[in-house]
Structures are given as C-alpha cells and as structure tokens.
Chain A
Amino acid sequence: MDTQQQNEKEFISLVETYQRLIYKVCYIYATDADNLNDLYQEVVINLWRGFPTFRFERKPSTWIYWVALNTCISFFRKNTHNIEFVPLTTDIEQISNDDSLLLRVKELYQMINKLGKLEKALVLLYLEDKSYQEIADITKLTYSNVATKLSRIKEKLRKMSNN
C-alpha cells in the first residue's frame, strides 16, 4: 500500500470516527438541508487538505472542531446556484422519528440561529460539554473571555426563550 492510500485510509477512519461531531457543527451553521450537505462536504474537503500537516500532534477532536468551525464561519459562495454535493445517508428528519424531539431541536435551532457566528461557536462547544479551558483552546480566546462571553450568551438565550 503506498503512502497516498495509507493516508486516505487513515483519513477515512478519522472522519468516520468523528462524523457526528462534524454533523453537529454544520447543523448549527446550516440554513437548510442542502446547505448542511454542502457545508459537510466542505468541512471534509478542508480536513482532507489539512490532513498531511496534521500528525496527531493535537487531539483529533480539537483539530476537527477547529477546522469545522473555521470552515462554517468562513463559508461563503458568490454563486449559490447549481451547487453540487455528495449527500449524507440521512438527515435530521430521519434521525428523529420522535415528534417532540424534532420540535425541541427545531426550537433550539431557531434560538441559536439568532446568534452571531462567533457566538454560535461558543454555544456549540458549551452544548458539547466542553470545559472553558477546552473552549479557550479551540477558539483561542482567553479563559476569562470565554467565561464572560458564555454568561452573556446564556443571558441572551434566556431572554429569547422568555419572549
């Protein structure tokens, strides 16, 4: 097996392991199902491009969060017509056959969608149960800044939910 094939095999195994993590990041930033598929593929491509320089020096999940968040934040298309992507095997409607969960997920999505791109990144990491230190490592914000920002965002979300 040559190096290229070995790389590809390692990469596929990495993406398969962290497929849900990528999905959740894309889900937070996507505007619709097509956009989610498009974003997902974009993240996978960027991970693939960065894979040769990533040599497991960092925690794989931290690296994937890093690239996925950066991809979603910077995602910009001048032409949104005729987008081609490889669709995922399933979507959120199929994942959740429980109506009440689907409803809650939609409500959650609507609330998070009102936040800015950077705020979304912090909320996502918070929902993923990351510690403030881990969030600081991923976002390159200081620990105290993460704490302040998160408390403000929590307040914002609380107000949104009360309205």
Chain B
Amino acid sequence: MELDELKSTWSALDERLHKNELLNSRIIKEMIAGKASSAWNRLVKWEQIGFVMIVLCGILFICLELFANIRWADQRGIWLAYILIPAALLWPGGKLLWMYRFDLTSMDVKTISKFMNTYKKCSFWEIVISAVIILPVILFTIKIILTANLSFPQVRLIILVVFFSCLFVYMLWYYKRIFTKSINELRQSAKEIEEFEKE
C-alpha cells in the first residue's frame, strides 16, 4: 500500500464516519457521569492507598516494638525494618508528588511520552525489587516450617513445602514474563523518545 493509497483509505473511512452517528448527547452524558476519574487518576489513587498502607504498617510496627513488649527472635530484623520503613515511605511519597505534576492539557506529546515511560520504568523496578524481597521471604517461611517443632503430621508438612515451592516457581515464571515484556516495551519507547529528541 503506497502512501497516497493510505491517505485515500483514510479519507474513505472519514467519509463513512460522516454518514454514521458514533454517539449522541445521551451517550456523552453517560460517559462523563459513569466514570468520575480517569485512568491516570485511578493510578494516583492506588499509589495513595499504597502510601497510606505503608504509613499504617510503619505505625503498627513501631507501636508493637515500643509498647507491646514483644520479644523478637532476631534483633537484626528490627534494625533492618527501621531502615526499610523510611525508605519505603520516601519512595512512594516522592513518586506521588511527581505524579501530581502530570497534566494532559498542558504537557506536549513528547513530554507525556517521557513521563509515562518514567512511570512504567518505576513500576517495573518496583516489581523487580518486590520480587527480590518476596522470594527470600518465601524461602525463609519454608525454612521455618521445616525447622520448627510443629505438631503437624509429616504429610501436612510435605504438602506445605510443596505449596510454597510451587508458589516460588510460579512467581519466578511470572516475574520473568513481566520482566521480558516490560523491558522490551521500555526499550522501544526509550528509543523512540531518544529519536524524537534529536532535531
């Protein structure tokens, strides 16, 4: 298909569209009444919920540590938690502030594209980092089950270990899939932006 043909196809489609009514005032009213927020606002909302959850978890942990007089098995974990909690707060907090700058009506297409690429990159690394944290937690849980002096019969123990092992394998496969897909998309998008940056 040559370029002139492309244009003529586009014009033919345009003509057909002129003969058809795509929507009417009732549909427009339903559209603006049906969804109070846009896809981006929902992303912001999820980030806000995540931020509040981290704050609540942090408060809960500090309350347990200070007031509940719990004897933790390993003090190194406590210190690690004290380091991780502020980091876990700073990251989504900064990300939220950055997300508030997004404005569809004032940013140009190139800036919007860069913005989205950065957002996807952040989300991608969040998944990778969560995987790095979650996988040792699963392995640690398996270790606890195996070493603990539980009153479970042997069969139940085996079932639990098999379950956690399957979960571990599934997560590895899932993360690999996400990793490959996202990294390809990010590479393509970054390459395109880079090309557009050049005059």
Q: Residues of A with Cβ closer than 8 Å to B?
A: 8, 11-12, 15-16, 19-20, 23-24, 40-42, 44-46, 48-50, 53-54, 66-67, 69-71, 73-78, 84-86, 88-90, 94-96, 101, 104-105, 107-108, 111, 116-119, 121, 127-129, 138-142, 144-145, 148-149, 154, 157-158, 161
Contacts and interface: CB of A to CB of B under 8 A. Distances in A.
30 contacts: A12-B29, A16-B24, A19-B23, A20-B17, A45-B31, A45-B38, A67-B105, A70-B104, A73-B109, A74-B40, A74-B116, A76-B39, A76-B116, A77-B42, A86-B34, A88-B22, A89-B21, A96-B16, A101-B13, A108-B6, A111-B1, A116-B192, A117-B113, A118-B113, A121-B109, A127-B6, A140-B108, A142-B199, A148-B199, A158-B3
A56 B102 CA distance: 22
Given A16-B24, A24-B17, A121-B109, A127 B32 contact: no
A21 to B, nearest CB: 9
Interface in B32-59: 32, 34-35, 37-40, 42-43, 46
B113 A73 contact: yes
B116 A20 contact: no
B22 A86 contact: no
Contacts of B46: 78
Interface residues of B, number: 57
Given A90-B20, A90-B22, A157 B6 contact: yes
B90 interface: no
Contacts, number: 170
B32 A44 contact: yes
Given A90-B20, A139-B110, 8 more contacts: A54-B105, A67-B104, A69-B109, A73-B113, A76-B116, A77-B39, A127-B10, A140-B110
Nearest to B6: A108
SS class, residues of chain B in contact with chain A: helix
Interface string B95-114: 00000001011011111110
SS class, residues of chain A in contact with chain B: helix
Contacts of B22: 19-20, 23, 88-90
B125 to A, nearest CB: 15
Nearest 6 Cβ contacts at the A-B interface: A140-B108, A116-B192, A50-B105, A127-B10, A104-B9, A70-B104
Contacts of A12: 25, 28-29
